[in-house]
Chain A
């Protein structure tokens, strides 16, 4: 079959099984858009800004495990996509971004809408390609999907000069079934000797904890992690990215850890003598002050990426491999082991943990006449029966969603953890809804974040993706305001928005339903009404308590046992650091 470059791109996407492509046309990709027009298999979603395209593709990828695909033009189209590419990179999300480039002959001449996309994206992609010849398109696309989805996933950019997709040059088309790269061999199973060492440590620990992260979600290791945790009976804490991989309603779950983690999770980490870290990367929001991090613990670290191991925290037993395979190896090792988990030590440890739990670090004022944001999330949980896909933007609302919506399944909690990208939530929700059309999809956002990609309300109408936007509107850049309250003597420098739009009218202007909620007793009925409107995008503008803060909080440079709590409990640890 002889095809031209543009046809090869589209045909390759079809052969790769791509369902949706999120994009925005422009000069350098006109040939590609013409080829898209002449087929129906790959459905194109026209966003309103290229950042929206990358976040929507990202949301689709996070909700399905399949790579998200993006198509943008050269120059500003490409640079607008960069924020979304970096977002996917930081959270290891598989994504393939095809960007148009000016014709080969004028590359380097500062041509109209020219930008060095390969150069700009180099630090925020897993890999990128510049396709120099039509005969190389199919193979490059195959490689891009392979690299994006294997090993530690990540975004891959394919930059294609306009002449390479021109209609006049055709070549025989043959999409490779498989691709081998001599320079790329992702890890699979863990080293047997290390597994043995890990099993010994797991069985001799007195105060163990499992600390798992987004890698378990990405590596489809949720079932295995749950089995391992139940076999060992250890407490489990998860990172922001890991939520849902182990059921949050399980009694072994002690909550999220880190800066806004629960008191019990952070204390369990701090006092533990063994940490089994799985698919987590010891991010600074998790560890707090590094030299005070878990002073009594030995660490076993399972990760697909060797560079994640001992990057910030030196570990005792590194295991490089796919989480799913390595957990199965650990389970096998535990079955064969001569001795079992120390019951007595375990009981003592749980007694201590339950004491920490009894502090009630997640309590808030339920009698308040103002709408408490935590209450909204709890109501959202109840109305959606805990089974919604929840996307978020970045800030206080993100933390409240993570804290008060217990996720029991992986891929349900979709947020920008690593890069912390405001504007992520709405386009991501659109991507999620396209993937799961019968599911409830909520975007928990704030009055500041939602305005960063508000234009995608228009996309939501065009493609009928009825998501529910839960806007926790406090008229502030809430998280900035909170830091200013704690660290800058309440000098609220530019964290207040004096002119925010009437979101109800705005939603209506975009063709959706807008509902304003001003009283606590109206929250539940409004949520029920919104979710009952199955075929409408509903914007719930909920006016929440403006002064509410996210607790607990480990302030920057502090250790896990040094938390700011809503309730005063005296000293936070019964043991002095050695």
Chain B
């Protein structure tokens, strides 16, 4: 099953490679990994999407917790949560398809943020599933480039992942 693990980690050189190294050394798979500093400059927040059986996910969270630099983590799958991913897509356009593409982008609540006579850049956020669905709708041959941030997530309600 797919799990989103949110991690607070010391904002120190090499912290990211400790996490990445753990996954490769133990043969766990990483579907996506995003990392950026938080409002507390001494901490980074990492969101890691992985897949595995319950036993594997349990080992992953235990092994992550064992890393000295990791301050806290939660498996968002265990809470009610919101997931978002940002995607930028560059699509080759012809006059004929522009209208149709615009309406598909509207349906997916996307935005066209760059236009040239022969291309659009579309910005879209949502769950990873939704972004997949959009890509599936667009003619494959017209896609020039897809950039995805990887999923990030946050739990609903007052409780949160903080110190």
Q: Which chain A positions have C-beta within 8 A of B17?
A: 119, 122
Q: Give the nearest-CB partner of A182 in chain B.
A: B71
Q: Are A118 and B14 in contact (CB under 8 A)?
A: yes
Q: Are B66 and A183 in contact (CB under 8 A)?
A: no
Q: Which chain B positions have C-beta within 8 A of A147?
A: 68
Q: Which chain B positions have C-beta within 8 A of A437?
A: none
What is the distance, in angstroms, from A82's C-beta to the closest C-beta of chain B? 15
Which of B18, B59, B62, B70 is the one whose CB lies under 8 Å from A122? Answer: B18
Q: Are B14 and A130 in contact (CB under 8 A)?
A: yes
Residues of chain A in range 177-232 having any CB-CB distance to chain B below 8 Å:
181-184
Q: Which chain A positions have C-beta within 8 A of B25?
A: 123
Q: Which chain B positions have C-beta within 8 A of A311?
A: 59
Which of A122, A127, A306 is the one whose CB lies under 8 Å from B21? Answer: A122
Q: Are B13 and A183 in contact (CB under 8 A)?
A: no
What is the distance, in angstroms, from A300's C-beta to the closest C-beta of chain B? 18
Q: In the assembly, what is the distance between CA of A147 and CA of B58, in Å?
A: 24
Q: Which chain A positions have C-beta within 8 A of B18?
A: 122
Q: Give the nearest-CB partner of B21 in chain A.
A: A122
The answer to whether A126 has its CB under 8 Å from any CB of chain B is yes
Q: Which chain B positions have C-beta within 8 A of A184?
A: 68
The answer to whether A310 has its CB under 8 Å from any CB of chain B is yes
What is the distance, in angstroms, from B38's C-beta to the closest C-beta of chain A? 14
Q: Are A183 and B59 in contact (CB under 8 A)?
A: no
The answer to whether B103 has its CB under 8 Å from any CB of chain A is no
Q: Are A307 and B14 in contact (CB under 8 A)?
A: no
Residues of chain B in range 18-37 having any CB-CB distance to chain A below 8 Å:
18, 21, 25
Q: Which chain A positions have C-beta within 8 A of B107?
A: none
The answer to whether A305 has its CB under 8 Å from any CB of chain B is yes
Q: Give the nearest-CB partner of A132 in chain B.
A: B13
> Taking A122-B17, A122-B21, A182-B163 as contacts, is the C-beta distance between A310 and B55 under 8 angstroms?
yes
Interface residues in B, total, Cβ within 8 A: 20
The answer to whether B85 has its CB under 8 Å from any CB of chain A is no
The answer to whether B65 has its CB under 8 Å from any CB of chain A is yes
Q: In the assembly, what is the distance between CA of A221 and CA of B163, in Å?
A: 34
The answer to whether A314 has its CB under 8 Å from any CB of chain B is yes
Q: Are A307 and B62 in contact (CB under 8 A)?
A: yes
Interface residues in A, total, Cβ within 8 A: 19
Q: Which chain A positions have C-beta within 8 A of B21?
A: 122-123
The answer to whether B69 has its CB under 8 Å from any CB of chain A is yes
Q: In the assembly, what is the distance between CA of A119 and CA of B163, in Å?
A: 28
Q: Give the nearest-CB partner of A308 in chain B.
A: B62
The answer to whether B63 has its CB under 8 Å from any CB of chain A is yes
> Taking A122-B18, A122-B21 as contacts, is the C-beta distance between A183 and B62 under 8 angstroms?
no
Q: Mark B47-84, 1 if CB is under 8 A from A, else 0.
A: 00000000100110011011011110000000000000
Q: In the assembly, what is the distance between CA of A281 and CA of B14, in Å?
A: 29
Q: Are A314 and B62 in contact (CB under 8 A)?
A: no
> Taking A127-B68, A182-B163 as contacts, is the C-beta distance between A307 and B13 under 8 angstroms?
no
Q: Are A305 and B71 in contact (CB under 8 A)?
A: no
Which of B10, B55, B58 is the one whose CB lies under 8 Å from A183? Answer: B10
Which of A130, A183, A305, A306 is the one whose CB lies under 8 Å from B69? Answer: A183
What is the distance, in angstroms, from A132's C-beta to the closest C-beta of chain B? 8
Which of A123, A130, A183, A307 is the one whose CB lies under 8 Å from B70? Answer: A183
Q: Mark A110-136, 1 if CB is under 8 A from B, else 0.
A: 000000001100110011001000000
Q: In the assembly, what is the distance between CA of A119 and CA of B66, in Å?
A: 18
Q: In the assembly, what is the distance between CA of A127 and CA of B18, in Å?
A: 10
Q: Give the nearest-CB partner of B64 in chain A.
A: A307
What is the distance, in angstroms, from B162's C-beta to the closest C-beta of chain A? 12
Q: Are A306 and B68 in contact (CB under 8 A)?
A: no
Q: Which chain B positions have C-beta within 8 A of A123?
A: 21, 25
Q: In the assembly, what is the distance between CA of A314 and CA of B66, in Å?
A: 19
Q: Are B63 and A183 in contact (CB under 8 A)?
A: no
Q: Are A306 and B62 in contact (CB under 8 A)?
A: yes
Q: Are B68 and A310 in contact (CB under 8 A)?
A: no
> Taking A123-B21, A183-B70, A314-B55 as contacts, is the C-beta distance between A306 and B65 under 8 angstroms?
yes
Q: Give the nearest-CB partner of B13 in chain A.
A: A130
> Taking A118-B14, A182-B163 as contacts, is the C-beta distance between A310 and B58 under 8 angstroms?
yes
Q: Which chain A positions have C-beta within 8 A of B10?
A: 183
What is the distance, in angstroms, from A550's C-beta to the closest C-beta of chain B? 31
Residues of chain A in range 147-179 having any CB-CB distance to chain B below 8 Å:
147
Q: In the assembly, what is the distance between CA of A574 and CA of B51, in Å?
A: 43
Q: Which chain B positions have C-beta within 8 A of A182?
A: 71, 163
Q: Give the nearest-CB partner of A119 in chain B.
A: B17
What is the distance, in angstroms, from A107's C-beta to the closest C-beta of chain B? 11
Q: Are A181 and B59 in contact (CB under 8 A)?
A: no
Q: Are A183 and B71 in contact (CB under 8 A)?
A: yes
Q: Which chain A positions have C-beta within 8 A of B63?
A: 307
Q: Which chain B positions have C-beta within 8 A of A306?
A: 62, 65-66
Q: In the assembly, what is the distance between CA of A475 and CA of B59, in Å?
A: 43
What is the distance, in angstroms, from B24's C-beta to the closest C-beta of chain A? 9
Q: Mark A307-328, 1 if CB is under 8 A from B, else 0.
A: 1011100100000000000000
Name, among B63, B65, B66, B69, the residue most crowded by chain A CB atoms within 10 Å (CB to CB).
B66
What is the distance, in angstroms, from B20's C-beta to the closest C-beta of chain A? 10
Q: In the assembly, what is the distance between CA of A305 and CA of B18, in Å?
A: 18
Q: Are B71 and A126 in contact (CB under 8 A)?
A: no
Q: Are B14 and A126 in contact (CB under 8 A)?
A: no
Q: Which chain B positions have C-beta within 8 A of A122?
A: 14, 17-18, 21
What is the distance, in angstroms, from A131's C-beta to the closest C-beta of chain B? 12
Q: Which chain A positions have C-beta within 8 A of B13?
A: 130
Q: Which chain A positions have C-beta within 8 A of B59?
A: 307, 310-311
Residues of chain B in range 117-145 having any CB-CB distance to chain A below 8 Å:
none
Q: In the assembly, what is the distance between CA of A383 and CA of B66, in Å?
A: 44
Q: In the assembly, what is the distance between CA of A314 and CA of B53, in Å?
A: 13
A interface, CB within 8 angstroms of B:
118-119, 122-123, 126-127, 130, 147, 181-184, 305-307, 309-311, 314
19 A-B contact pairs sorted by A residue (CB < 8 Å):
A118-B14, A119-B17, A122-B18, A122-B21, A127-B68, A127-B69, A147-B68, A181-B68, A182-B163, A183-B70, A183-B71, A184-B68, A306-B65, A306-B66, A307-B62, A307-B66, A309-B62, A310-B55, A310-B59
B interface, CB within 8 angstroms of A:
9-10, 13-14, 17-18, 21, 25, 55, 58-59, 62-63, 65-66, 68-71, 163
If A181-B68, A309-B62 are given as contacts, then 4 extra A-B residue pairs at C-beta distance below 8 Å, sorted by A number, are: A122-B18, A122-B21, A123-B25, A311-B59
